Amino acid sequence: MDIGGTFTDVVLQTGARQVPTKVLTTADNPAVGVVQGLRQVLKRAGREPADVGMLLHGTTLATNALIERRGARTALVTTEGHRDVLEMALENRFEQYDVNVDRPVPLVPRRWRLTVPERVNAAGEVLTPLNVEAVRALVPALAEGRIESVAVGFLHGYANGAHERLVRDVLAAALPDISITLASEACPEIREFERFSTACANAYVKPLMSRYLADLQVRLAALGVRSPFLMMTSGGGLTSVAAAREFPIRLVESGPAGGAILASRIAASLGLDRVVSLDMGGTTAKICLIDDGAPQHSRAFEVDRSYRFRKGSGLPVRIPVIEMVEIGAGGGSVAAVDRLRRVEVGPRSAGAMPGPACYGRGGERATVTDANLTLDRLAPDRFAGGAIVLDAAAAQAALIRDVAAPWGGPDCGAAEAAEAVVAVVDENMAAAARAHASEWGKDIAERTLIAFGGGAPLHAARLMEKLGLRQVLVPPAAGVGSAVGFLAAPVSYEVVRSRYMRLSAFDSETVDQVMTEMRAEAREVVGAIVDDAGRETRQAHMRYLGQGYEIAVDVAQPTTAEALRGAFDRAYEALYGRLIPGLDVEVLSWTLTLRAEVAELASPPLSSASRCAAHVVSGRVERSALATGAVVAGPANIVEDETVIVVPTGCAARVDDQGNVLISRRA
């Protein structure tokens, strides 16, 4: 079950059969839409709620709460003299020449950034003991201010979290109903701003996510579902509901992570070593690079960027994430014409309510979906499995009013306006893909594009042409691809510790101790779900002495200074093309991940339909009618319940033996 900004996708798997469905997201209470989708998919599959053996769930609720600023009333307790760490941020200008630059507003206002006397140094040694009476003195103000959640973050708490734990004990005893997040647990890494920002973000969404998950569990029980319940994380793994309630910040990109897992599984199964995935839904489009069957991972993410493509303009959170670029290019992205008579698309979205004009739910603004409908690229009576019957007249009226009239004048029609909207959104996605690949030092050309989500198959072929890609692959059930990806995700948990060390003074005992602590913490989460001990991977975040940022390096066992230096040299040269001789190397942080595959959840090989013999067709065709080897010559639309695959003029589509539709340019 995957909650998106516009649609909630549900996929039921039974044996080798996958039954998908889409329902509109119920923004006021997403649990209502989830249960509605679950009822619908069970009915389609002819199964009962009691038959469900496992539930996997991803949600945008935490992300939306951060963006829309509708989380809990939150306070921050920090070291005396350092209440403005969140406001000072990195003390830089992410947009150097904008004198009116909009900085991200901290989640915790200054009046609720409270301080107490205490101090620990970078080695974890106590310089000033915590003043417990000062902590108790905060209780009346927190109660009077109706504070729901508290983040506790002290200087160098990553090295010694004893003071933070003591504050939790005092506050929990005095205010038992308050939610508490410790920075030393949510993000035990150096760099105070990122650590405090992560802790505050976690505290901000923690009460909301706890209430949501509790409500969803009650609704599922009332429906008759008694199965185990796992949550998808932004790092591409499954975790327990208990862990999700404690650290809901790890769920912020859970839906897109499922899509990346799906694309990675397809790439590995077909031996595709260079892939780019496109996940385009109703609100956003997500682009991810996948090499050798694995997506790129990162430990840094920004929420709610005030400048969409500008690093540093959002709220930073330090969590495990699958690295991807996200832009406001979805089916609900609003189209308009600016003062220079340029057609613009997004980032604003019509969402599920009121939605695009063609939904007939009160929406009046022209959107990408309205443009695609006007260009006859959608099946009006099949949209979202027939959940919505699209109104073509309303779409055309909105396009003429919002785009054609201000852009092309009285002689411009709805079709010309729709072509302009589609061209702009295609170029926006192509530009984002080029920039993302360039940022990571990778080439975008000659890759295979794996397209999923309700919107991606409509636009994928044009992106293939714009980016010089080899081919497009659209998997079965592509319209609910992220939810399908959940079925292939492993149970996993990543733990991080900051322990500074130079390779010239390498201490193997300290490394072993850190790894033992991290393994025990990860095992506590993974072991609560599966008996399998899991596969352990380790990384060190390293840099040359004096550099400002580090790179992730795989750590072999046993861990030695020589092995680390060799691994660092290979990783650094691969990224930057050179080494710096004569410089010592330092380790800032260590990470350990336990990953256990859940065999019964792994998605089976996808089988193709066989309702007709392989042949060449064109025009509008049902995907379910295409057998292995069937060829569809463009221009054509391949229709299914959750999406439409557009095959433009000059391209052809072929169905492979796993049911994937492969689009390539015709000679």
pLDDT at position 382, please? 83
Q: What is the pLDDT of residues 516-556, one digit of tens each?
A: 999 999 998 888 888 877 789 999 999 999 898 899 999 88
Same domain, 575 and 449: no
Q: In which element (H, E) is residue 350 found?
A: none
Query: How confident is residue 223, by pLDDT bands cut at 50, 70 and 90?
Result: very high
pLDDT at position 308, please? 57
Q: Does position 311 have pLDDT exceeding 80, yes or no?
A: no
Q: What is the pLDDT of residues 135-158, one digit of tens each?
A: 999 999 999 999 999 999 999 999
Tokens of 25: 């997201």
Residue 4 lies in a domain: no
Rounded to an integer, the average pLDDT of 77-88 is 93
pLDDT at position 17, please? 85
Q: Higher model confidence: residue 33 or residue 103?
A: 33
Residue 305 lies in a domain: yes
Strands (E), 260-370: 274-280, 285-291, 294-295, 297-298, 301-303, 315-317, 321-322, 325-327, 333-337, 343-349
Same domain, 299 and 361: no
Residue 98 lies in a domain: yes
Same domain, 123 and 195: yes
Same domain, 264 and 368: no
Same domain, 506 and 585: yes
Q: What is the pLDDT of residues 378-388, one digit of tens each?
A: 988 888 777 78
Top-ranked range on mean pLDDT: pick from 43-47, 68-72, 621-625:
43-47
Cβ atoms of 30 and 57 within 8 Å: the answer is: no
- State whether the Cα torsion 326-329-332-338 is positive or negative: positive
Q: What is the pLDDT of residues 463-481, one digit of tens each?
A: 999 999 999 999 998 889 9
Tokens of 64: 């939306």
Of 485, 516, 539, which marks where a domain is finished? 485
Same domain, 325 and 444: yes
Same domain, 341 and 308: no
The residues pairing with 326 across neighbouring beta strands, listed in sequence order, are: 286
Q: Kindly report the backbone phi and psi dihedral angles of residue 649, in degrees, each rounded to the nearest multiple of 5, phi listed first.
A: -55, 135
Q: Does position 569 have pLDDT exceeding 70, yes or no?
A: yes
- State whether the Cα torsion 11-60-492-449 is positive or negative: positive
Q: What is the pLDDT of residues 580-599, one digit of tens each?
A: 999 999 999 999 999 987 65
The residues pairing with 540 across neighbouring beta strands, listed in sequence order, are: 553, 590
Rounded to an integer, the average pLDDT of 396-412 is 91
Q: Higher model confidence: residue 524 or residue 94?
A: 524
pLDDT, averaged across the chain: 89
pLDDT at position 601, please? 44
Residue 592 lies in a domain: yes
- State whether the Cα torsion 358-363-369-371 is positive or negative: positive
Query: How confident is residue 610, by pLDDT bands cut at 50, 70 and 90?
Result: very low
Of 191, 209, 227, which marks where a domain is finished? 209
Same domain, 387 and 295: no
Q: What is the distance of C-alpha 505 from the center of its chain?
A: 39
pTM above the 0.85 mark? yes
Query: How confident is residue 604, by pLDDT bands cut at 50, 70 and 90?
Result: very low
pLDDT at position 609, please? 44
Share of the chain above pLDDT 70, in %: 95
626 contacts: CB under 8 Å, gap ≥ 6: 608, 609, 612, 632, 638, 655, 661
Same domain, 544 and 574: yes
Same domain, 321 and 365: no
Overall number of domains in the chain: 5
CB neighbours (10 Å) of residue 464? 23
Query: How confident is residue 314, by pLDDT bands cut at 50, 70 and 90?
Result: confident
Q: Note down the domain range covering 359.
A: 333-423
Q: What is the pLDDT of residues 158-210, one digit of tens each?
A: 999 999 999 999 999 999 999 999 999 999 999 999 999 999 999 999 999 99
Q: Higher model confidence: residue 397 or residue 5?
A: 397
Residue 627 lies in a domain: yes
- Residues 9 and 33: their CA atoms lie apart, in Å, by 9
CATH number of the domain residue 74 falls in = 3.40.50
Q: Does position 459 have pLDDT exceeding 80, yes or no?
A: yes
Same domain, 416 and 460: no
Residue 229 lies in a domain: no
Same domain, 497 and 572: yes
pLDDT at position 379, please? 86
pLDDT at position 310, please? 65
CATH number of the domain residue 300 falls in = 3.30.420
Q: Higher model confidence: residue 267 or residue 575?
A: 267
Residue 418 lies in a domain: yes
Q: Does position 497 have pLDDT exceeding 60, yes or no?
A: yes
Residue 353 lies in a domain: yes
Q: Higher model confidence: residue 543 or residue 303?
A: 543
Rounded to an integer, the average pLDDT of 282-305 is 85
